A and B are shown apart, each in its own frame.
Chain A
Amino acid sequence: MENKNNYWKGLEELNKDPQFLQHKRNEFAEGIPLEEVFSEEDGGLNANRRDFLKYFGFGISAVALAACNKTPIKNAIPYIVKPENITPGIPNYYASTCNACAANCSILVKTREGRPIKIEGNNDSPVFKGAVCATGQGALLGLYDNDRFHAPQIDGAESTWEAIDKEIKKALASAKNIRLVTKTTNSPSGKKAIAEFTSKYPSTQHIQFEAFSLGSIAESNKIAFGKNVIPGYRFDLAKVIVSFGADFLGTWISPTEYTKQWASNRTPENKGMSRHIQFESLLSLTGSNADVRYPIKPSSEGVYLISLYNKIAALAGAPSLGNMPTVELPLNMIEMTAKELWAAKGASLVVSGSNNLDHQLLVNAINSLLNNIGTTVDLDNYSNQHFSNDAAFETLVNDLNSGTVDTVIFWDVNPVYAYYNSAKLIEGIKKAKTTITSNSSLDETAELCKYHVPANHFLESWNDNEPKAGYFALTQPTISPVFNTRQMEESLLRWADNNIAYYDYIRSNWKAVLSNEASFEDAWIKSLHDGFYMTPAKATTAAKANVDLSGTVNAAYSLYTSSKTNLEVRLYAKVGVRDGSHANNPWLQELPDPISKVTWDNYANISKATADSIGVKDGDLINITSKAGKIEALPVLVQPGQPNNTIAIAVGYGRTSGGRVAKNVGKNAYQMAAFTNKSVQFNNAAITIEKAEGKYELAQTQTHHTIEGRALIKEASLNEYLKDTKAGNHDHHAILKENGNLLTLWGEHDSKGHKWTMAVDLNKCTGCGACVVACNAENNVPVVGRAEVLKRREMHWIRIDRYYRFRNKENNNISKEKEYNNPETGVDFENVSVVHQPLMCQHCGHAPCETVCPVLATVHSSEGLNHMAYNRCVGTRYCANNCPYKVRRFNWFKYRENDQFDFNFNNDLGRMVINPDVTVRSRGVMEKCSFCVQRIQSGKLAAKLENRTIKDGDVKTACQQTCPADAIVFGDIHDPESNVAKHFKNERGFFLLDEYNVQPSVTYLTKIRNVDENLVAEEHHAGKHKNEATQESHQHSESKS
């Protein structure tokens, strides 16, 4: 026999040794001699039987012994006295107020057996309308943070409240100058407590400090209109919105409120859609949602504002500012914007995210020219959601260093981390005699303080806020303090010798708030129940800004000309971690950035051209030096949409203490800020940059090229849509017709009762990520950490895919990969169009995952759901392979009680957040979005218990409930009156990967941009071409995408 292998086992084989030939058939060298052992020869029957009986007897008793397991004891411990309104197993909802940032959204806190497990939006609130952002959703985890102080401390040693109060009172009595540094304070009772404290210790000065300060806005209104407030912006009344770097959908002042307003004008079915124009120095969340976006350098914001002012002034017949040469953007963007604003005067809105007082004054002047004051800029029903006094804090730092201030109290602020000149502040704090902090964990500031008087988490507190003038929001505790902590307001009152409980204090203050109500008791109870109390809105008054701004022109123009080619730094806050106060929150750290999709890091956003000129690529490291400090080894991310010569870096990272999660994630960018013109500027033109050694891979959840040329995103311009409601979506309607004739593998599912479906409006989704965190909380989604995200093992059940549309310099779309690097036409990397697309399990009617599961762990339900039975799953992962949407997640590890994943699932306190209605998945099983089946089931049960049919809106998924843009609609498509059924009939609707005919239960609505150009010029032709192709190969429609 020829051996093609040319390898032989040995000479015997080659020689055809007869013994070898005989043996090679037997697997064992000898047979097993069972027969001989049990033979009755020699020994005879007797011996054998006795032995057999001996072994048999032993065996039986051993087996009996083996079965002697004790049943593990599980205790059931009832309440000693059951609280009247708690029934175990049934959630209670308490109206409260989110204090994760000063926006103070109205929320509902879902508690089970007395522990908060979910934050939901309060739909009754006329201001916030049921929206909660990602940070608000994540704030829940802050309650169960094991790194919080467990008790008051003096010099790092745990103490008692009596002892610490005694010492602090003594220290305060002898203090020369006391400074109380707080965040934005908009609580009427809190302010009163501060006043009481101040009257007891008259040397006290109250300074409001915000890490990412916007103090110039209120200041500019004081100068221009005599009102030291942030106006109530009305994005819902604005037909044209122009934002200069204000990330009002993501992080600016009151993002959920603004997103609700903005989204209300993004429904093309209502014919009118606002036009949103964004000028910005990075690709922000808001910029990614703008109709028209133009990247500008931070140093040029002033001149563009002046230009815009002058262009509008010319239209209005007003004098222009100074004698500045015309500065214009390509395509005459400034002039176009001026014309549009002027055409919509009285119903337009210009905002700026800058903390430069001149810029804010210019914005005021422009809004004033446009008659917007009193309409879209409401100075009467103003906002209290952001106060900070940079100049006062600057003075404090100097006073601390000079020794004039000897006592400082930090109330939930962390300036040692967030102040740009941290070293100087540290020196100052070290010189102070008495340092007190209420910070909840041992953060950078607390490390330097003598007295730690840890404050409650807001879910453990009584509080009142007035986020908007006349809108009073109440906070009520939903759990007893987890640790030995005390509300800071109460601490201040104690030190002022007032021993009242803070609840009684608020209640007595509210007698004044509710003085117009017939019965205080009734109104108080109602306000607590609702979570807010509103006084009637004031009549708005128009006003004119009367400031001479000609002085700003020269400074702005010289800055513009001098730094035209300089590298500049622009700081920004990310949704999620925000200013850094939520850095110890693993949910928020793992929330992918809406644009870059990077988790667990900050980085230098650099444009392609700038990266090429410096000679860096993705993952290279750079050092950035400013006057105040140096960021070392910051990874580079080449970001489309980033203006050239501008480096955008997120603040909130690079914490050196403050908890296990916060520590050493990213780099601290606050040191790039600078104090000029009475306020802290979050951009800096005086920096130097150098390449650093090494590489660093960023943990991105979405990398490019996943689209594979398929039409996952559909868009049309508003004009096209108004002419043809199917614009941009013709192929869907063609395929739908085609699919009816296709042969399919699957039989139809019989669905008698409900059929749960979802609609996602791409036109409304801003990509803010609130749904992702809400889903984490609702469905016990584990945090996996940076290393696992790098291996693409993140567990999020809902992800938001972000797609870019690139154009070349001739303004044509880039449709082929090779064009990407075509040097002739080139790609305009500064100008990209972005679409956000939330993707969760599509609950296909013809689910490919179901077909391949060998153990039937994923099966279809009669209600149109694709069920996932974890306890049946054996982890073959065939389903994930066969899922065209890649929405299935595999548990590579046991993520709970595992020191390798030291996040909230690894300690008893952190696990308190677990939703008891949802299984905590174990290692080796697949999981995915369930359409919040636990909510469906409880909604159905509630209807049955109340003996009624289920109503539209009874069942809301977690993502839908929190969505600030109302982009997600969920319901029963068999109910023709339901909102989702109407969405399914919408001609904008399409299914992802229509051509596969997997019959998804999620429909997406085409993105409509309010732009002048045609977005689907060739679409009709392309659609036709596709149809022809489909006809040619009937059953293989998928082969051709």
Chain B
Amino acid sequence: MKIYRLLAFVVIFVFSLNSVLADATEGEKIFKANCTACHAINDKIVGPALKDVHKRRNPEWLLKWIKNSQALIKSGDPTAVALYKENNESVMTSFEQLSDAEIKSIVDYIQKESEQPAQTTATASVAGDGTSKTESNSNNSGFYSQTTFWALLVMTLILVVLLFVINKVKKVVDELHAQKFPATEENSEPIAISWKQNKASFRYKLFVKHPVVGTLMVSLLFMLVFGLYGFDYGNKYIGVQKGYAPEQPIKYSHELHAGTYKINCLYCHNGADKGKQASIPSPSTCMNCHMHVQAKEKYNGSVSPEIQKIYNAVGWDAEKRAYDPTKEKTPIKWVRIHNLPDHAYFNHAQHVKIGKVECQACHGPIEKMPVVSQQRSLQMGWCINCHREAKVDVANNNYYEKLHAKLKLDGKSMVTVAQNGGLECGKCHY
């Protein structure tokens, strides 16, 4: 009975929260789209941490500040001027396009987030819903991770040692046996007989009596082994490597950035809605935030070694807070995880911007991954399946004007990607 009561309580709580925080969900969207580049709830990024900002400032002031902070500063508002100076006079972007209601919803969202204990923010929201069916397979390291390798190695060593010990024991036993029962003709012979003489043994039949069969079976075994090896190699070579989670030069965590801080994917992968490549951000993009965010609290006051790698790449001197022209700039060599073969053309903009596919649909729950792994096979069958089901949004893009008109005539309202030619070879292979 107890458990039902608990369940009922949870359900009621969630529902009531939902209705109360309807504004906040709207605010969350706007916050993520516009603010996360510079602000987080609990941490200072470029701008200050926003926790409890509703307590610190009154709503009218916030409205003015968010709409046009520079105007407020110029008007001589003491709080604004102080804040501006406090933050190294970095200018906050004006958001005059946001309505008062929208700004209020942002504040509501911050209020909601502020009231939650810091830990829960990490798991509070899962960006995107197109992936509700995804297997939450956290096997990020594949079958042959480093741990497995070391475990195997240790086990092998133990076996070698055991073999050694057994051998020793056998020798000792044999010696003892020989001492106790000196060799006689009757009892020595059966021990000496090898499989080559034992006509009943399997090995004798296989290799001595029927060498053809033996050779065949051995070569079959070798073919099986090398064939599997080759197949596996070929698969990996062309990029069939689901579960691949290589070590990256910087231990960058999507869980932290996209999950906890909810930085919009497009902030860093800014090619995703423009063209073929989503593009990996240049370290100069990282510097937008990490010029200030150094995670010193975790490293006894010194800059996080991982963040230091960004500084090394761009030649930033953390002490002087300036770019050091004498330092050599070294590009960061990330390891590509999602490798499409050269003969497959994939364009991010087509899927992200036109098809409105969530990033997670192909990349999995990226906001939960401390280390990114390939979640989908990226094989053609997988592409095709989606093309069979996904609908083309003909109504909301003028490009499809004629097609939409034709569909209406036919009395249809929807067309799948496949029906629009999305299964044709030349759409991806050219």
Contacts and interface: CB of A to CB of B under 8 A. Distances in A.
B200 interface: yes
Contact of B342 (A66, A920, A948): A920
B280 A76 contact: yes
B347 interface: yes
23 contacts: A34-B213, A36-B205, A36-B210, A37-B206, A62-B225, A63-B224, A67-B232, A69-B236, A75-B335, A81-B282, A87-B271, A88-B279, A89-B271, A89-B274, A89-B276, A90-B275, A861-B425, A861-B426, A861-B427, A867-B429, A868-B426, A919-B430, A945-B354
A612 interface: no
B199 A919 contact: no
B370 interface: no
B138 interface: no
B246 interface: yes
Interface in B168-223: 198-203, 205-206, 209-210, 212-213, 221
A536 interface: no
B275 A63 contact: no
Interface in B26-56: none
Given A870-B343, A919-B430, A80 B399 contact: no
A47 B403 contact: no
A33 B211 CA distance: 10
Nearest to B335: A73
A66 B282 contact: no
Given A87-B274, A869-B426, A78 B281 contact: yes
A80 B236 contact: no
A66 B421 contact: no
Interface in B249-293: 270-271, 274-277, 279-285
A47 B271 contact: no
Interface string B320-336: 00000000011111111
A862 interface: yes
A1038 interface: no
B232 A69 contact: yes
B345 interface: yes
A42 interface: yes
Contact of A59 (B224, B275, B279): B224
Nearest to A59: B221
Given A36-B205, A944-B354, A867 B334 contact: no
Contacts of A71: 236, 241, 244, 246
With a 10 A CB-CB cut-off, give which of B221, B284, B330, B421 has the most chain A CB atoms.
B421
A241 B402 CA distance: 47
A7 interface: no
B274 A753 contact: no
A187 B129 CA distance: 61
B199 A42 contact: yes
A604 B229 CA distance: 59
A402 interface: no
A918 interface: yes
B430 A753 contact: no
Interface residues of B, number: 76
A552 interface: no
A53 to B, nearest CB: 11
B79 interface: no
A47 B335 contact: no
A88 B284 CA distance: 15
B345 A76 contact: no
Contacts of A869: 425-426, 429
B343 A77 contact: no
Interface in A711-740: none
B426 A930 contact: yes
Interface in A902-954: 917-920, 930, 933-934, 937, 940-941, 943-945, 947-950
A32 B212 contact: yes
A948 B398 CA distance: 5
B399 A950 contact: yes
B333 A77 contact: yes
B221 A62 contact: yes
Contacts of A79: 282, 284, 331
Contacts of B276: 88-90, 917
Given A80-B284, A87-B271, A868-B425, 16 more contacts: A37-B209, A44-B200, A47-B200, A59-B224, A67-B229, A75-B335, A78-B331, A79-B331, A80-B330, A753-B403, A869-B425, A869-B426, A870-B343, A917-B276, A950-B399, A974-B402
A33 B335 contact: no
Contact of A52 (B202, B271, B330, B335): B202
A917 B349 CA distance: 15
Interface string B235-253: 0110001001010000000
Given A63-B224, A75-B335, A752 B213 contact: no
Interface string A847-885: 000000000010101110101111110000000000000
Given A80-B329, A870-B429, A940 B399 contact: yes
Contacts of B336: 74-76
B302 interface: no
B399 A943 contact: yes
A475 B144 CA distance: 55
Contacts of B314: 80-81
B275 A87 contact: yes
Interface of A: 32-34, 36-37, 42-44, 47-48, 51-52, 55, 58-59, 62-63, 65-82, 87-90, 752-753, 857, 859, 861-863, 865, 867-872, 917-920, 930, 933-934, 937, 940-941, 943-945, 947-950, 974
Interface string B68-79: 000000000000
B205 A75 contact: no
Contacts of A865: 426
Interface string B327-361: 00111111110010111010111100110000000
B126 interface: no
Kindly list the 8 A-B residue pairs having the minimum CB-CB distance in the complex, ordered from nearest: A867-B426, A89-B276, A43-B200, A89-B277, A66-B229, A42-B200, A869-B425, A51-B202
A82 B284 contact: yes
Nearest to A941: B350
Contacts of B281: 78, 82
Contact of B271 (A51, A88, A947, A948): A88
Contacts of A974: 402
B162 interface: no
B203 A51 contact: yes
With a 10 A CB-CB cut-off, give which of B236, B241, B314, B430 has the most chain A CB atoms.
B430
A90 B350 CA distance: 13
B200 A78 contact: no
A415 to B, nearest CB: 45
Interface in B122-177: 143-144
A945 B349 contact: yes
B229 A934 contact: no
Contacts of B200: 42-44, 47
Contact of A871 (B143, B201, B341): B341
Nearest to B214: A37
A88 B285 contact: no
Nearest to A65: B225
A840 to B, nearest CB: 15
Nearest to A921: B343
A72 B339 CA distance: 10
B345 A82 contact: no
B144 A43 contact: no
A37 B213 contact: yes
A870 B202 CA distance: 50
A66 B225 contact: yes
B202 to A, nearest CB: 4
A930 B202 contact: no
Contact of B282 (A82, A863, A872, A949): A82
B334 A78 contact: yes
B61 interface: no
B226 interface: yes
Contacts of B202: 37, 43, 47-48, 51-52
B266 to A, nearest CB: 12
Nearest to B334: A76
